[in-house]
């Protein structure tokens, strides 16, 4: 299997020339429901598992803060090799390139710098989304229903019952925190069904604003956090290059650039999409 990263000419040049890819903050992508779509499905699944309605708002606020403060970094790929919508949305309106990666070699290369990185398959079917969340929702529901969001009560006088209550609530909140590493990938492996044709897979990594490895990329409308990851090049990592339908670069310059940068020959072909 080959997975394709659609990109502009500048991004293509940077990846090939530097041997690095950028994992960008997924919340800043073109999908305004990134992370939050899965949050909605998780709330639905939790209600089906018996989440008490008195805790629903607190649970929603917890998930909102989770997405806002933590989020995730991703390098997005598609199973589709030559799709018009991908060219238009992600490759400078068809003027860029699509880089065909070997996914197993790519994730192995990324994990040398980011051991916790995962290769996620994005799910678009709402029923399968909720079904995949059932076990996680059941565990979260149990913790929440047992009082994780109850206020910590204090009394100036010594009160063993209140002390035991506070200890129990703190333990439940700690259990909630321990579920964070499991929760993050689920939040970023589900998207609205309207994105179905993208057939996306993504390299996913946890995000932490305090990490010095997180940099920022300015653009016209936003400032996007990202992390550069060295992947280098081994034979077979890049399986082919597709030149976009509006990209006027001839074959020879692309082949020579690849040979000089990668010290290897990579197949180059041109998009068959009749778009200009």
Reading the chain (276 residues) residue by residue, the pLDDT tens digits are 999 999 999 999 999 999 999 999 999 999 999 999 999 999 999 999 999 999 999 999 998 887 887 789 999 999 999 999 999 999 999 999 999 999 999 999 999 999 999 999 999 999 999 999 999 999 999 999 999 999 877 665 556 666 788 889 999 999 988 888 888 889 999 999 999 999 999 999 988 888 888 999 998 889 999 999 999 998 999 999 999 999 999 999 999 999 999 999 999 999 999 998
Q: Identify whether the C-beta of residue 268 lies closer than 8 Å to the C-beta of residue 97.
A: no
Q: Name residues whose C-beta falls within 8 Å of residue 116's C-beta, 6 or more positions apart in sequence.
A: 205, 206
Residue that has been written with the tokens 């996620």 in this structure: 120
Asked if residues 241 and 268 have their Cβ atoms less than 8 Å apart, the reply is yes
Report the C-alpha gap between 113 and 141 in whole angstroms: 35
- Expressed in angstroms, the distance from the first to the final Cα of the chain is 29
Spell out where 32-110 has E strands. Answer: 72-78, 97-101
Rounded to whole angstroms, the Cα distance separating 169 from 40 reads 25
**CA separation, residue 173 to residues 70, 100, 134, 149 (Å):** 17, 44, 20, 8
Distances, alpha carbon 45 to alpha carbons 13, 76, 123, 195, 256, in Å: 44, 27, 16, 22, 53
The tokens for 222 are: 């936003």
Give dist(CA 75, CA 22) in Å, integer.
7
Burial class for 243, CB neighbours closer than 10 Å (0-12, 13-18, 19+): buried
Nearest to 103 by CA among 236, 273, 8, 243: 236
- The candidate with the shortest Cα–Cα distance to 96, out of 195, 187, 11, 184, is 11
- 126 burial (CB, 10 Å; 0-12 / 13-18 / 19+) is middle
What span, in angstroms and rounded, lies between the C-alpha atoms of 91 and 226?
Answer: 19
What pTM does this model have?
0.91
Locate 243 and state its tokens.
């030149």
Task: For strands 223-230 and 20-25, give the pairing.
Answer: antiparallel
Quote the CA–CA distance of 140 and 31 in Å, as a whole number.
Answer: 26
Name the helix (H) or strand (E) containing 259: helix 251-262
């Amino acid at each position: 299997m080959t997975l394709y990263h659609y990109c502009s000419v500048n991004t293509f040049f940077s990846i090939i020339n530097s041997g690095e890819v950028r994992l960008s903050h997924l919340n800043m992508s073109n999908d305004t429901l990134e992370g939050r779509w899965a949050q909605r499905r998780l709330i639905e699944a939790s209600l089906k598992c018996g989440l008490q309605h008195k805790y629903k708002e607190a649970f929603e606020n917890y998930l909102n803060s989770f997405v806002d403060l933590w989020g995730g970094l991703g390098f997005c790929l598609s199973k589709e090799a030559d799709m018009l919508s991908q060219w238009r949305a992600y490759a400078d309106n068809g003027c860029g390139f699509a880089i065909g990666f070997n996914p197993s070699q790519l994730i192995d290369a990324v994990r040398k710098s980011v051991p916790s990185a995962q290769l996620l398959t994005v799910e678009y079917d709402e029923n399968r989304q909720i079904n995949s969340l059932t076990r996680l929702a059941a565990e979260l529901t149990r913790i929440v229903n047992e009082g994780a969001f109850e206020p910590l009560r204090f009394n100036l006088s010594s009160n063993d019952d209140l002390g035991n209550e506070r200890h129990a609530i703190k333990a439940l909140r700690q259990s909630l925190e321990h579920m964070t590493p499991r929760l993050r990938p689920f939040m970023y492996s589900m998207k609205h069904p309207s994105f179905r044709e993208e057939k996306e897979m993504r390299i996913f990594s946890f995000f932490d604003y305090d990490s010095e490895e997180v940099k920022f990329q300015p653009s016209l409308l936003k400032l996007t956090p990202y992390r550069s990851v060295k992947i280098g090049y081994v034979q077979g990592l890049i399986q082919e290059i597709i030149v976009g339908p509006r990209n006027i670069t001839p074959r020879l310059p692309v082949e020579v650039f690849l040979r000089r940068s990668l010290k290897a020959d990579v197949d180059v072909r041109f998009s068959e999409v009749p778009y200009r």
